Amino acid sequence: MNKKETADEKNLMNGVLRTMTILEVLARSGSTNLEKLSKETNLPKATLLRFLSSFISLGYVSRDDADCYSLTLRLFSIGSKALKHVDLIAKANPFASALCESLGETVHIGIEEDNKAVYVIKKESSYTLRMYSRVGKTIPLYCTAIGKILLADKNKQELKRYFNTVSLIPFTEKTLLTKEALIADLERIRELGYAIDDEEHEKNTICIASGIRDYSGKVIAGLSVSYPVFRIDRNEIENIAQKIMKTTSQISEILGYLP
């Protein structure tokens, strides 16, 4: 490591430390002026003004007519999202385990993040041949069962933004590649209450998913069960879906959702 890299790392660390110091003092103070903030953080006023200006432009800090600074609710919003996911994982974990044991196949729970879904829970199949996946893995929304369940809960404007952002790239010959085909599939999902990925993301793999709702009724996660094509009786898909929906309903009720 050269001297420039060492200096850059040191400057970055100093910036992070100053950021956290300022935010923590603002959190304790509620509202404070530049003079008091400088004394409590031991930072020069000129340095504070640079940081505060950035925080204001990013929406994390506000300044009132008396030139007092305070935190906005943006940090609370970020923190509440993290807490929601922690609560989801804790509450859903035993239900995912029970469903995995009952069906004998791999169970995933995924949440949306940056126009993709990310696995937050995985319960492994009892069979020797298993799915390659892991907690933290991201998957597309448009060609996976969990992803389509999340998309099906979006309104027209949200879907429009999604389609304007994402390219529909084929993963298999069964991947839906037009907006019209996907929207028609989402309509069926809303009617049925569950989504199917019929070898659309991975060849020889079928996934069935249903949504987990929070107290407001919003779908905050999808729960799926994955089958190799040779291990699923297609005539049983409806029965399997009913078991999945029963599980997601139980989790949703614990999270405060009242149908």
Domains of the chain by range and CATH? Answer: 3-72 (1.10.10.10), 78-254 (3.30.450.40)
The pLDDT of residue 2 is 53
Q: What is the pLDDT along the chain (259 residues), one digit of tens a residue?
A: 455 556 667 777 888 898 889 988 888 888 889 999 999 989 999 999 999 999 999 888 999 888 899 988 887 667 656 655 657 888 899 999 999 999 999 999 999 988 999 999 999 887 765 566 677 888 999 999 999 999 999 999 999 999 999 999 999 999 999 999 999 999 999 999 999 999 999 999 999 999 999 888 999 999 999 999 999 989 999 999 999 999 999 999 988 888 7
The pLDDT of residue 83 is 55
Q: Which whole-number Å values give the CA distances from 252 to 11, 55, 228, in the listed order?
A: 46, 36, 28
